[in-house]
């Protein structure tokens, strides 16, 4: 499963469980990649999905 598909799957599950339980949920989306540009691209995509938590690693 590619990172974009994984992010979409996690976001869908996150919003579904929040709607069912009424509780705030979160999941660490791993945006770590081989280059800084790729990490930024992944983090921006996660933000656009509304993910509350994004895992990154600075070098």
pLDDT tens string for the chain (59 positions)? 799 999 999 999 999 999 999 999 888 999 999 999 999 999 999 999 998 889 888 76
Would you state the pLDDT for residue 56? Answer: 84
Is the overall model pTM greater than 0.95, yes or no?
Answer: no
Distance (Å, rounded) from C-alpha 28 to C-alpha 42? 13
55's torsion region: left (phi>0), alpha (psi -120 to 50) or beta?
A: beta
């Amino acid at each position: 499963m590619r990172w974009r598909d994984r992010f979409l799957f996690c976001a869908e599950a996150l919003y579904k469980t929040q709607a069912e339980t009424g509780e705030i949920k979160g999941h660490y989306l791993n945006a770590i990649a081989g280059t800084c540009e790729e990490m930024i691209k992944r983090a921006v995509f996660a933000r656009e999905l509304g993910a509350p938590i994004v895992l990154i690693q600075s070098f």
